[in-house]
């Protein structure tokens, strides 16, 4: 293939990939779109509508957020000014009481002094002393009234008359005790952060503590509590900024943890009225006719498909680079195997999440492109189908298990009756996985039964369809699958019977070539099945004239009576005849290629030498070597090259009569060297390491071939000599076997 042809094929294949990607995006978008209902605000729903996916109920979340915001209390902080004001007020109150008591109970003694030179007799000096006095009731009442009035005017406190009277009448020691305790407790209480309720509780605790700890004047504890309640005020004040922040934090906390509606939950019941909130919810889920186009979902699906395409390109460049440069029909077959289950999933996955027939792709891709490619593409296909199942968490697990089992059993199929094993293995594995996953999620038995039924039917039907559609793939795209190869390799195939009856020598030769090619292909990692079946049919052209080939001759050789050029024409024509017969029986293209290429452009050396000898005898110029050369292409694949080497080796071994491995190795090496010298392997993709591996594989086959049996006649003679009178059953003894270990 020229560079221009490779570029043309690459361009065509890329075009098909782009078209397939667009089709996949459209299919996934349509398949993931929920069912829509013609409902407006105020309508009565005639349906039970369930959520097609998990989503946040924004209206309910907003309601709860506002409720949480309203429940946040005002934020109050401690005020130093209020605390100091309470302390100052108590100090002023006690000072005022002290002053009133001093005025009432203490009388200063003042002396009048006349100094020399001073004629003013009214001049006074500071009091010499203060002496107690005993006021009467009238004076006490006046002092109480005065105290209440001064406290009201100066401190803005309403001092109860009982407390004022008590303060005025009590003994000095008792007053000083109350004064000290009240002052200390005021400072202690003001240092705390207290609202009205907290202040009341603290004062009550203080009174209780004083009653239990005071040694003297214990009865004054309630009195002290009343004074504290009168003077001390709550020292907290409202903080607007902190309150707003707390309420906003409560709002954000609820909005950050929205109310979720799970997939499958009923959001509208039959007979329910469509409210504005319900209509907004349905519109957001694209459940109403005329809802806005979901560009976000389309963009996400497009990105997902592009990512899978990018991953596929990287995979094929690394592990199957030939596909992008192969004939477009191969890529088309691969894309159809992927898109068909994708299209079917678009109609099934919405209602039945375990029903996507992804196992169809696993079987078909494994059959035509190999196990590794199948598992990789099946994994990507599961990702693409997931949006259509509303991202059901169990679907990928069930689908992946089924795909792996289907691929493994398809890859391991060696007989036609193994189709049933693929079907049973896939359906049973998907059913078991669906049951276990659903059981682990503690779903209801009804739901478990539904999931198991979906998985079983999907696994069985998709595999049946995959197997059944393979002949159509082969008919349209001329591709080949292991199952098709198994069918072609059966002894009852018409071509195999025809070859065995009409050209028995060629049939035996083909069987030996098949053994050699199969072993060698397996050793170098080529497709052993294609090599084996290709070897079965590589010499079909000999059916046109079987007796012209030595393996089918039992007496006279027709070539002894033909000119060398005519003999060469007949023999070199058989690859083309093989191609024609193979097409008539619709053999797959890889087998036709092997039949067409297994001689390449080699020369019929025997007939060319014979022609040279005849020309020399007649005194003529030697004929052109090209007249004795095959006109077919050189091998273009490893399988074709392996069959070429196996064919030449088997023919040479038969004609040379080789009987030892040393002779066989020497002969095979000379054959391989001849092919390399004639440049027959340059396009095969084989390396020199592969060539050596192929040689060793051929020797391994001939090692068993040279291990011949002991002639049956000799065995009978030895048995008779040992047991001349035995006519019934024969008892096997060690001496019945030759020393080399061959069996009877």
Task: Supply the pLDDT for residue 476.
Answer: 67
- Cα–Cα distances (Å) from 743 to 704, 711, 727, in that order, read 13, 11, 22
Whether residues 717 and 610 share a domain: the answer is no
| Residue 516 near residue 695 (C-beta atoms within 8 A) | no
User: For the chain, how many residues are written?
Assistant: 744
> End of a domain among 217, 238, 259?
238
Compute the distance between CA of residue 39 and CA of residue 36 in angstroms, rounded to an integer: 9
DSSP code, position 268: E
pLDDT of residue 616: 84
**Structural domain count, the chain:** 4
- pLDDT for 2 equals 59
Shared domain check, 365 and 351: yes
Pairwise CA distance, residues 166 & 413, whole Å: 112
Residue 117 belongs to some domain of the structure: no
- Rounded to whole angstroms, the Cα distance separating 545 from 503 reads 9
Q: Is residue 614 part of a domain?
A: yes
Structure tokens at 317: 């460049």
Q: Which residue has the tokens 């006046």?
A: 142
444 and 359 within one domain:
yes
**Dihedral sign, CA of 562, 564, 567, 569?**
negative
Same domain assignment for residues 532 and 570: yes
Domain boundary among 220, 238, 256: 238
Residue 303 near residue 330 (C-beta atoms within 8 A): no
Cα–Cα distance, 11 to 328 (Å, whole number): 10
**Do 677 and 737 reside in the same domain of the chain?**
no
Q: Are 363 and 422 in contact (CB under 8 A)?
A: yes
Q: What angle do CA 297, 298, 303 make, to 5 degrees?
A: 95
Q: Within this chain, do residues 465 and 536 fall inside the same structural domain, yes or no?
A: no
Query: How high is the pLDDT of residue 710?
Result: 43
Domain assignment present for 12: no
Sign, Cα dihedral of 299, 303, 309, 312: negative
Residue 187 lies in a domain: yes
Q: Is residue 588 part of a domain?
A: yes
Query: Per residue in 522-555, pLDDT tens?
Result: 888 888 888 999 999 988 888 888 888 888 777 7
Residues of the chain with confidence (pLDDT) below 50: 113-114, 119, 121-122, 709-744
User: Per the domain annotation, does 311 fall within a domain?
Assistant: yes
User: What does the pLDDT read at residue 108?
Assistant: 64
Measured distance CA(364)–CA(212) in Å, rounded: 94
Per-residue pLDDT tens over the stretch 673-705: 999 988 888 888 888 888 999 999 988 888 877
Q: How many CB atoms are located within 10 Å of the residue 345 CB?
A: 25
Q: Answer yes or no: do 622 and 639 share one domain.
A: yes
Do 535 and 607 lie in one domain? The reply is yes
pLDDT in the model for residue 128: 54
C-alpha span between 405 and 14 (Å, rounded): 31
Beta strands 76-78; 236-238: pairing state? antiparallel
Q: Is residue 281 part of a domain?
A: no
Residues 384 and 316 grouped into a single domain: yes
Residues 193, 316, single domain; the answer is: no
Identify the CATH number of the domain in which residue 356 sits.
1.10.1760.20
pLDDT at 306 (0 to 100): 93
Q: How far is Cα 89 from Cα 78, in angstroms, rounded to an integer?
A: 18
Domain residues for the domain of 664 are 511-707
Residues 306 and 319 reside in one and the same domain? yes
Q: Is 116 among the domain residues?
A: no
Q: Are residues 703 and 713 in the same domain?
A: no
Rounded to a whole number of angstroms, the CA Rg of the chain reads: 54
């Amino acid at each position: 293939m020229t560079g221009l042809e490779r570029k043309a094929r690459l361009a065509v294949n890329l075009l098909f990939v782009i078209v397939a990607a667009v089709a996949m995006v459209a299919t996934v978008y349509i398949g993931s779109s929920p069912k829509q209902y013609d409902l407006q605000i105020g309508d009565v729903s005639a349906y039970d509508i369930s959520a097609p996916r998990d989503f946040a109920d924004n209206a309910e979340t907003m309601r709860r957020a506002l409720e949480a915001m309203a429940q946040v209390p005002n934020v109050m902080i401690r005020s130093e000014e209020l605390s100091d004001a309470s302390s100052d007020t108590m100090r002023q109150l006690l000072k005022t009481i002290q002053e009133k008591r001093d005025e009432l109970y203490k009388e200063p003694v003042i002396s009048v002094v006349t100094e020399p030179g001073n004629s003013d007799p009214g001049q006074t000096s500071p009091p010499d002393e203060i002496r107690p006095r005993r006021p009467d009731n009238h004076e006490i009442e006046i002092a109480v009234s005065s105290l209440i009035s001064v406290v009201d005017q100066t401190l803005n406190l309403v001092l109860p008359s009982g407390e004022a009277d008590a303060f005025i009448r009590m003994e000095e020691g008792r007053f000083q005790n109350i004064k000290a305790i009240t002052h200390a407790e005021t400072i202690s209480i003001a240092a705390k952060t207290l609202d009205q309720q907290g202040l009341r509780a603290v004062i009550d605790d203080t009174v209780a503590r004083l009653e239990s700890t005071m040694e003297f004047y214990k009865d004054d504890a309630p009195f002290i509590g009343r004074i504290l309640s009168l003077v001390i005020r709550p020292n907290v004040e409202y903080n607007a900024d902190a309150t707003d922040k707390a309420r906003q934090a409560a709002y954000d906390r609820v909005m950050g943890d929205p109310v979720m509606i799970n997939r499958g939950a009923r959001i509208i019941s039959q007979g329910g009225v469509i409210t504005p909130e319900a209509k907004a919810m349905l519109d957001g889920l694209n459940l109403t006719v005329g809802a806005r186009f979901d560009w976000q979902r389309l963009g996400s699906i497009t990105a997902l498909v592009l990512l899978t395409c990018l991953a596929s390109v990287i995979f094929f460049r690394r592990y199957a680079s030939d596909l992008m440069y192969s004939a477009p029909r191969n890529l088309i077959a691969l894309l159809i195997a992927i898109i068909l289950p994708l299209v079917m999933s678009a109609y099934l996955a919405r209602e039945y999440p375990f029903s996507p027939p992804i196992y169809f792709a696993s079987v078909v891709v494994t059959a035509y492109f190999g196990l590794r490619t199948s598992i990789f593409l099946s994994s990507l296909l599961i990702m693409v189908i997931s949006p259509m199942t509303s991202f059901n968490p169990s679907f990928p697990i069930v689908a992946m298990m089924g795909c792996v089992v289907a691929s493994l059993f398809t890859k391991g199929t060696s007989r036609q009756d193994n189709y049933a094993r693929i079907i049973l293995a896939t359906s049973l594995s998907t059913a078991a996985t669906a049951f276990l996953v659903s059981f682990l999620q503690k779903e209801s038995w009804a739901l478990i039964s539904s999931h198991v039924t979906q998985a079983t039917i999907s696994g069985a039907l998709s595999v049946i369809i995959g197997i059944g559609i393979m002949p159509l793939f082969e008919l349209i795209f001329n591709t080949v699958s292991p199952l098709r190869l198994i069918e072609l390799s059966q002894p009852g195939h018409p071509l195999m019977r025809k070859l065995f009856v009409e050209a028995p020598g060629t049939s035996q030769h083909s069987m030996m070539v098949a053994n050699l090619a199969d072993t060698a292909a397996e050793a170098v990692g080529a497709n052993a099945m294609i090599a084996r079946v290709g070897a079965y049919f590589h010499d079909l052209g000999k059916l046109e004239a079987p007796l012209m080939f030595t393996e089918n001759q039992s007496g006279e050789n027709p070539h002894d009576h033909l000119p060398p050029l005519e003999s060469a024409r007949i023999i070199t024509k058989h690859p083309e005849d093989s191609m024609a017969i193979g097409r008539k029986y619709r053999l797959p293209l890889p087998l036709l290629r092997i039949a067409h290429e297994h001689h390449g452009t080699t020369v019929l050396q025997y007939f060319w030498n014979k022609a040279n000898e005849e020309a020399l005898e007649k005194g003529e110029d030697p004929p052109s070597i090209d007249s004795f050369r095959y006109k077919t292409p050189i091998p273009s694949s490893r399988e074709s090259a392996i069959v070429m080497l196996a064919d030449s080796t088997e023919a040479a071994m038969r004609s040379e009569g080789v009987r030892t491995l040393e002779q066989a190795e020497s002969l095979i090496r000379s054959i391989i060297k001849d092919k390399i010298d004639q440049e027959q392997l340059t396009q095969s993709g084989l390396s020199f390491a592969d060539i050596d591996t192929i040689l060793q594989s051929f020797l391994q086959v001939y090692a068993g071939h040279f291990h011949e049996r002991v002639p049956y006649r000799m065995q009978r003679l030895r048995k008779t000599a040992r047991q001349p009178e035995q006519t019934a059953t024969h008892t096997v003894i060690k001496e019945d076997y030759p020393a080399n270990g061959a069996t009877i």
